[in-house]
Structure 1
């Protein structure tokens, strides 16, 4: 590897110092902005966690899940009751349907 040599007499030290100071000031401004943003975000998270809104939101989600679970349980009971009624009214059709579903499941499992 051949390193390119720089003539020391061609370097403008004053210009380099000015550019370095601009760079340093820019970095300082960026660090200040990042620090301010980080403090703001941490303050918001702390306020959110300490404000009790998280626990109230969790409680409301639990209530909604309980309601949905009860609805699902009721719907599934209705569906099972309806299926039992139809199967007892038409036993041959129910057996044929079950046999067909079994064949379909077997063919799908054999492919996989």
Structure 2
């Protein structure tokens, strides 16, 4: 039995809905993700350079397969306008099989 390609969910935050949409479109067009979902606005609270910051942001949830993951990580780092962009990647332990099959197919350009 062939081992199935893993699927991943990655997320980042960005300071405008327009920037989130532009990044999502570019990642899908370049085939680094099968799908990107824009959630927001959300409120982020964090320490930056000694100050507690509050920021209104939009979260971009991205779904990809193993073959896309390294390109996704590099692309977000290169295309994001934050000095230190948030990028958290989580493995998909389980899910709706037809959807995960579609994510895997997108990595091969067959979605």
Considering the TM-score relative to the shorter chain, is it more than 0.5? no
Structure (1/2) with the larger helix percentage: 1
Structure (1/2) with the larger strand percentage: 2
TM-score normalised by L of structure 2:
0.19
Higher RCO (CA 8 Å, separation ≥ 6 residues): 2
